[in-house]
Amino acid sequence: MPDTAITVTNLSKKYKIGHLQQRHDTLRDALADSIHNLGSQLRKPSTDKNETDVLWALRDVSFEVEHGEVLGVIGRNGAGKSTLLKVLSRITAPTSGRAVINGRVGSLLEVGTGFHPELSGRENIYLNGAILGMKREEIERKFDEIVAFSEIEKFLDTPVKRYSSGMYVRLAFAVAAHLEPEILLVDEVLAVGDAAFQKRCLGKMGDVARSGRTILFVSHNMVAIKNLCEKAIWLDFGKISAFGMSSDVVNNYLQSTTLGATMTERVWNDSSQAPGNDLVRLHKVCVRPDSGPPNGNISMRTPLILEFEYWNLIENSSIDIQYILITEEQTIAFESSSSFQSEWRGTLAPRGLIKSKCYIPGNLLNSGIHRIALRFYQDSKRIYELEDALIFEVFDTTERNGSWYGKFPGSIRPLLIWETEVHSKEIL
């Protein structure tokens, strides 16, 4: 067997956007258009088709996947990930380039493709299996396993239209999970079902990945990509932006996507333009990793420094800055204040620039977007407040041995120490 499972060379796929609007949905349009085109061709014969009407969903994509390798594909929506899978699954043809796949291919672009609501669970297992490319004998052999995995034994002969959506998804995934090609192309099928079910799906994916099969895995779940895949491709506007070890590619990708959406540093040099009032004006707010580059990624493990610089405009006033940290779920994770530092509390500050730093330890925050809201207090009276002073994202980049790659519940996610031991073998 050749060494590479998948060899992709200069693969490109073009969609005509202009034609999406003036699609020849009716014969009349087609006729009118072809007459129109003929006319315009007669007038200016050699002009090329407008390049602006063209969208390159994939452009000159080349890469190789070895046998037994698990390759992740990441990128924002519309970057060409799904198109790549569709071309490799032979659902749609490329515009140019070539791909060679050595081995039996199975693709999973969604679960439950071809399920028919009128047919029973049993019948749908056979139908769906055949649609996914399984042989009848193969389905018969795995039938009991599929039923056991789906946990729908009792409803096997009920039409699936009577199923709850949970049962439906479980059955659909059970069939898909028992597809055993040499090369598996998977698209985000894991984004279905409730948390408990996703956990099992990812567990099954992990088993498949460890069984030595070649997998191309498209997902938005960076934790899953990092844990399941050795290598990853980052697609951006149809081109390969990065290709390498999955942890590096994921980090680069995360860094690029969060710029813009977040505000990790803000500076106002002109005190008359800065947020504030005639008692206090902001000069600078910033959040950064305690060590490493100031714009580096913030993961759950990263210790952080929050920096606040402001002008105190009232001579000899006791001034404090306080902030609250708001999580993605719009709950307050905690509140903290410069008055917590006993040396500063009650100090009468002169007019001038004041700098405060607050250290947030690593292994405390949960993953997701966090926002900082500021409040200034003077002599225990709130004098100014600013919502969304900073917005930053904490990434989940932990290695996980288990099968759960979703977000942990809770406003914070501290790393706590546990001690468990077998105390005695006696049962009293």
Partner 1 sequence: MQEIRSYNKLTQTTHQTVIEPGNAWLLPEVKSTWHYRELLYFLVWRDIKIRYKQTALGVAWVILQPVASMLIFTIIFGLLLKVPSEGVPYTVFAFSGLLPWYYFSGSLTRASTSLVTSSNLITKVYFPRLTIPLSAILSNLFDFGISFLLLIGLMLIYRLPITASILFLPFFLLLAIITSLGFGLWFSALNVRYRDVNYIMPFIVQMWMYLTPVIYSSTLIPEQFRFLLALNPMTVVVEGFRWSLFGYASTLSPQAKPLIALGIFIMLAVLFTGARYFQKTERTFADII
Distance CA 287, CA 306 (A): 5
Torsion from C-alpha of 150, 155, 159, 165, nearest 10 degrees = -50
- Closest approach of partner 1 to the CB of residue 79, in Å: 18
The SS3 of residue 319 is strand
**Contact region for partner 1 (CB under 8 A) — 72-80, 113-121, 218-226, 377-385?**
113-121
Using the rule CB under 8 A, is 109 a contact of partner 1? yes
- Closest approach of partner 1 to the CB of residue 399, in Å: 29
Tell me whether residue 36 or residue 98 sits nearer to partner 1 (CB atom).
98
Q: Which of 33, 122, 127, 318 binds partner 1 (CB under 8 A)?
A: 127
Using the rule CB under 8 A, is 146 a contact of partner 1? no
Count the neighbouring beta carbons within 10 Å of the beta carbon of residue 173. Answer: 25
Q: Is 332 exposed, middle or buried (0-12, 13-18, 19+ CB in 10 A)?
A: exposed
Distance CA 354, CA 418 (A): 41
Pairing of strands 183-187, 231-236: unpaired
Using the rule CB under 8 A, is 53 a contact of partner 1? no
CB 266 within 8 A of CB 257: no
Using the rule CB under 8 A, is 126 a contact of partner 1? yes
**Contact region for partner 1 (CB under 8 A) — 127-135, 149-157, 202-210, 406-414?**
127-135
Question: Residues 6 or more apart from 158 whose CB is under 8 A from it?
Answer: 120, 121
Q: For partner 1, what does the binding mask look like between residues 190 and 219, x meaning CB under 8 A?
A: ------------------------------
Using the rule CB under 8 A, is 102 a contact of partner 1? yes
Tell me whether residue 119 or residue 279 sits nearer to partner 1 (CB atom).
119
- Closest approach of partner 1 to the CB of residue 239, in Å: 18
Count the neighbouring beta carbons within 10 Å of the beta carbon of residue 15. Answer: 16
Tell me whether residue 85 or residue 254 sits nearer to partner 1 (CB atom).
85
Tell me whether residue 88 or residue 325 sits nearer to partner 1 (CB atom).
88
- Closest approach of partner 1 to the CB of residue 127, in Å: 5
Using the rule CB under 8 A, is 318 a contact of partner 1? no
Using the rule CB under 8 A, is 21 a contact of partner 1? no
Q: Which of 94, 121, 238, 289 binds partner 1 (CB under 8 A)?
A: 94
Using the rule CB under 8 A, is 89 a contact of partner 1? yes
Segment (H or E) for 320? strand 319-326
Question: Residues 6 or more apart from 97 whose CB is under 8 A from it?
Answer: 8, 9, 10, 11, 12, 60, 61, 62
Spatial CA neighbour of 211 closest among 188, 181, 186:
181
- Closest approach of partner 1 to the CB of residue 199, in Å: 25
Instruction: Tokens for 61, please give them.
Output: 């994509």
Using the rule CB under 8 A, is 34 a contact of partner 1? no
Using the rule CB under 8 A, is 114 a contact of partner 1? yes
Tokens 């995360």 sit at which residue?
254
- Closest approach of partner 1 to the CB of residue 69, in Å: 15
Q: For partner 1, what does the binding mask look like between residues 170 and 189, x meaning CB under 8 A?
A: ----------xxx-------
- Angle among Cα 202, 368, 394 to the nearest 5 degrees reads 105
Tell me whether residue 27 or residue 427 sits nearer to partner 1 (CB atom).
27
Distances (CA, A) of 409 to 260, 362, 414, 421: 27, 18, 12, 26
Distance CA 73, CA 203 (A): 19
Binding region for partner 1 (CB under 8 A): 1-2, 15, 23-28, 30, 86-105, 107, 109-110, 113-114, 116, 118-119, 123, 126-127, 130-133, 135-136, 138, 141, 180-182
